[in-house]
Amino acid sequence: MKWKPIDRSGFEQRDSALKKIVRYNKYKPMWYRTDLYLHSHRIVWLLEELLPFALRVFPGFNIELARTMATVHDDLEISLGDIMLGDKVNFTPEQHAELYIQEQLAIEAVAQNYPDTINGFRYKQLMQRYQMFEEYSHPEMEIMMDDPETCLIKYCDKLDAFCEALHELHAGNSAFLNGYSTNNTPPIPVFIKVFSTFTQKFPLFKRMKIFTHPFLQVPLDIQPEMIVSNGKPHTRESIQHNTKFPFYDKWRQVSLAHGGSALMKRLTEKVE
């Protein structure tokens, strides 16, 4: 299905700000380093891949709201910076409460630099809505659980981060076998837990699990050490070959379908 472009008028300077926020920022090296600009685009692409299914199980699902929220879901990191999930899972309740306050302040700061609306929706409210729908409890969470648009974006967000890590492992990058510190949980155990408990934390998503799309069938028996031991740097040829993980293969296919030669370069040329 062909989706119309999202109107980003007035947000042109935002692109350069997003490109400065790198993903997995404390992992050294990350051979195929990504940034928030690419991540925000890819979340929209992943979301669009799942929209036909969402429309079948969520009556009234707002497509344009979801696509626009996916575009800006991490914009607060322009002010706050990237805090990795491998750190968040080890936070105390007090730390989560403090992070929530920091996130709200960051949203206020970022919103001041751009127009009030994007693609017909309130910019600040989109960021706030996404942050309220979190894995970790805070006072506003109970009123946000019946929110299929944000739920689907949250899933795509975790899927993209998982595949970024798998991309490094399949290239043989052993840095992604471990946490970057003793207080950081390695990516694969983090995401295995995320996907094994996702429908428990977000029961709404159970409706999506009736479908057989690769993105909705994430295996939980992943052995990162074995992936790394068999890994080789990616090439334009190898990137086309299937692995044992259809959801990761589909992630690469979707990236290339939307990003073309620019994404081929990002997926196959080491930058570190």
pLDDT at 62: 97
pLDDT of 141 strictly over 60: no
pLDDT at 139: 45
Average pLDDT value for residue range 17-21? 96
pLDDT at 142: 44
Domain 12-268 has CATH 1.10.3210.10: yes
Higher pLDDT among residues 24 and 89, named by residue: 24
Interatomic CA distance for residues 108 and 79, integer angstroms: 9
pLDDT at 201: 85
pLDDT band at 138 (very low <50, low <70, confident <90, very high): very low
pLDDT at 2: 78
pLDDT of 134 strictly over 80: no
CB atoms within 10 A of CB 25: 15
pLDDT in tens, 155-208: 999 999 999 999 999 999 999 999 888 888 899 999 999 999 999 888 899 999
Average pLDDT value for residue range 239-246? 95
How many CA atoms are closer than 13 Å to the CA of 34, on its beta-carbon side?
24
Q: Three-state DSSP class for 22?
A: strand
DSSP string, 156-222: HHHHHHHHHHHHHHHTT-GGGGS-SSTTS--HHHHHHHHHHHHHHH-GGGGGGGGS--GGG---S--
Computed over every residue of the chain, the mean pLDDT equals 92
DSSP string, the chain: -PPPPP--TT-HHHHHHHHTSBTTTTSS--TT--BHHHHHHHHHHHHHHHHHHHHHHSTT--HHHHHHHHHHTTTTHHHH----HHHHTT--HHHHHHHHHHHHHHHHHHHTTS-SEETTEEHHHHHHHHHHS-SS--TTGGGGSS-HHHHHHHHHHHHHHHHHHHHHHHTT-GGGGS-SSTTS--HHHHHHHHHHHHHHH-GGGGGGGGS--GGG---S---HHHHHHT-----TTGGGS--S-HHHHHHHHHHHHHHHHHHHHHHHS---
pLDDT at 144: 47
Q: Which two tokens stand for residue 209?
A: 């699990």
Q: Please name the amino acid found at residue 81.
A: G
Instruction: Express as a percent the part of the chain with pLDDT over 70.
Output: 96
pLDDT in tens, 60-94: 999 999 999 999 999 999 999 888 887 887 788 88
End-to-end CA gap in the chain: 36
pLDDT at 187: 92
